Structure 1
């Protein structure tokens, strides 16, 4: 069996989600380390509380902590070793930590910079993201191109019939009307207070490039699936480039999901919180068994993964 770990991104957050992580020594160690990092960064200790999650930076830090904690529990307490890691948006930083390219402290510093810069880019006016379901990818691209506004972009390609748009509140409303007229099955605003994976975040990408340039390069212990191209890479340089630039480019999750079984991945585990990536992988391929820690539980997931080995 070739194993993949999947790390969800913003929009999957849940209040007090760090309290719902598996009870294990590895998780406890990550939470203790993260509390020290949060204090150093001047961030709230209860970064995952409902009030704290109103802030984009807190959301991204909480998702990073949850992803790293789950991965370490699966590796150190469950005896599993991933051959592939894939993170959606900010989840890519947890993937990079799990692959040994970043340590947790460096990842938290980078994610704090990322979240703060993303908020700065969206400081003028209301911005957000919306999921568009039921239109083929090409139809979604045409819909965005034909809108009478330049303030909306295609941000995520999640499946053959689900994309995500980024833009101003007004532009997303216009896009919603156009989507329904085009026959979309669903159009929903996401719990995201910024516009991500679009040209608006070019400055954020540049800041991340400069920040990551000063970090050491380590040999990855697993192949990393990129956000920007949906391809597998195995060098720290390529991973850092993806971590920095993805915030200004669409997430190609659909390509990554289809590629994993082609490369030999046969079992995928999505870390807390949620199950969105599990469902997207299941819809993209029949050659990869995907499970969610939140839905299936830690013990059951480890047992199933071991049986596949």
Structure 2
């Protein structure tokens, strides 16, 4: 029996997500470190108005994810595997010690600004629930043939596909989906993530990534884009740098973890979406999240898993 910690992407954010973290010394140190690195108080970022920006959302999710792991690390606990969806992959790589928290904060800020400035308005992401990838691909291809900017961005589950692009193009796909009785849900994401529209921004970020010191992972890292196990630090940095412009295959990532013997998944604060998606695969396993679960309960489950492993 093995464990995995997973880190959510945009859409999981909530007001006061940093304020609601435990009032402990380790939390205070991480928040102060992030504030010092950015030259601004990060506790001002998790409010209603700031969270309208990709900049605030990505930083809050990254910081909250790393702190979630630190709260368990305090009890000498670490997972067998680690993975993250979109910005969550940056937290995963940091927790695996591939890059430092300080460098992560700076690069995530840069990532968010690049994405935000490239598409300040008119673009986003939409979830289609109750439909398969093949059908969605047909709809997307049809709209793209008319010069619409829309792409499949995430495969969250066999019947949950996320599209990304311009609002105009996505609305055309949404209309086709509604005719088939598909549930359409616009996500709280203000940029067209996980498609070629962000390819140039990824290459720009790569130049910044090359300037930092990186290390081999101390925890096995599963890519949220390819569902592959990446053991090389350069592969992992490439994975998180370019994931903004590549489709996410979270369904295969969860399946890969299960097939590798993972039976306990813990989702970092503040998400629960990855918890819900994993329940469809972890039929005989345990799926938990920081949100709605006491910290001591998570600790007990990790300790139990470690005991069963040995």
TM-score relative to the length of structure 2? 0.93
Counterpart for residue 256 of structure 1: 253
CA contact (8 A) 2:31 2:42 kept: no
- Please tell me whether the aligned partners of residues 101 and 217 of structure 1 are also in contact (alpha carbons under 8 angstroms): yes
**Counterpart contact for 1:74–1:80, Cα < 8 Å:** yes
Gaps of 5+ in 2: none
Deviation at 1:46, TM superposition (A): 0.9
What root-mean-square deviation, in Å, do the aligned CA atoms of Structure 1 and Structure 2 show?
Answer: 1.6
Query: Match of 2:142?
Result: 146
Structure 1, residues 143-179: CA drift from partner, whole Å, max 9, x if none? 2112244211101111111111111111121111111
Task: State the 1:264 CA deviation.
Answer: 2.2
**Contact 1:219/1:235, CA 8 A, preserved across alignment:** yes
Match of 1:113 in 2: 110
The equivalent position to 1:302 in structure 2, one of 292, 295, 299, is 299
Q: Contact 2:4–2:262 at 8 Å: present in 1 too?
A: yes
1:1-309 to 2 correspondences below 5 Å: 1-39=1-39, 45-76=43-74, 78-123=75-120, 125-147=121-143, 148-184=146-182, 186-286=183-283, 288-309=285-306
Measured in 2, the distance between the counterparts of 1:244 and 1:308 equals 32
Q: Distance in 2 between matches of 1:72 and 1:114?
A: 23
Checking the alignment, whether the CA contact within 8 Å between 1:135 and 1:183 is kept in structure 2 is no
- SS of the aligned residue for 2:170 comes to helix
Cα deviation, residue 305, structure 1: 2.2
Which structure 1 residue ranges, 5 or more long, are not aligned? none
The answer to whether the Cα contact below 8 Å between 1:261 and 1:287 also exists between their aligned partners in 2 is: no
Q: Distance in 1 between matches of 2:22 and 2:140?
A: 41
Give the length in aligned residue pairs: 304
Contact conserved, 2:34 with 2:42, CA < 8 A, in 1? Answer: no
Aligned-residue offset at 1:287: 5.0
